[in-house]
Amino acid sequence: MKKFVILLTVIFMCLIVKAQTIAIFDFNAGNGVPREFADSVTNVFKTSFQIQDCVILDTAEVYKAIEELGFDKYGMKKQQRIEVGKAINANRVIYGNINLVEDSFVVLAGSVNVQTAETETMFKATITEIAGSAKVISDLAQRIAAKIEVIAAEEPQQMEEEKEKEKPMSPKSFTVNDVTFEMIYVEGGAFQMGGTSEQGKEAYDAEKPVHKVVVDDFYIGKFEVTQGLWKAVMGSEITDSGGWRGYGYGDNFPAYRVSWKDCQAFVKKLNELTGENFRLPYEAEWEYAARGGNKSEGHKYSGSDVVNDVAWYTSNTYDSGTQPVGTKTPNELGIYDMSGNVWEWCMDWYGDYEDKAIKNPKGKASGNNKVLRGGSWSRGSKLCRIASRGYNLPDARFSYNGFRLVLVVEQPVDEKAE
Structural domains in the chain plus CATH codes: 6-163 (3.40.50.10610), 172-408 (3.90.1580.10)
pLDDT digits (tens, 9 = 90+) for 304-329: 999 999 999 999 988 789 999 999 99
Amino acid 3: pLDDT: 39
> CA-CA distance, 177 to 184, in Å (whole number)?
21
pLDDT higher than threshold 60 for residue 2: no
User: Where is 271: in which H helix or E strand?
Assistant: helix 260-274
Q: Between 260-274 and 227-234, two packed helices, what is the crossing angle to 10 degrees?
A: 60
Burial class (CB in 10 A: 0-12, 13-18, 19+), 303: buried
Residue 246: how many other CB atoms lie within 10 Å = 9
> CA-CA distance, 240 to 296, in Å (whole number)?
39
Average pLDDT over residues 108-123: 76
> CA-CA distance, 376 to 12, in Å (whole number)?
34
Amino acid 150: pLDDT: 52
> CA-CA distance, 219 to 242, in Å (whole number)?
32
pLDDT higher than threshold 70 for residue 416: no
pLDDT band at 19 (very low <50, low <70, confident <90, very high): low
> CA-CA distance, 253 to 290, in Å (whole number)?
20
Amino acid 271: pLDDT: 95
Q: What is the DSSP string of 191-222?
A: EEESS-GGGGGG--GGG-S-EEEEE--EEEES
> CA-CA distance, 26 to 107, in Å (whole number)?
13
Nearest to 254 by CA among 341, 162, 366: 341
Q: What is the mean pLDDT of the chain?
A: 84
pLDDT digits (tens, 9 = 90+) for 172-182: 999 999 999 99
pLDDT band at 4 (very low <50, low <70, confident <90, very high): very low
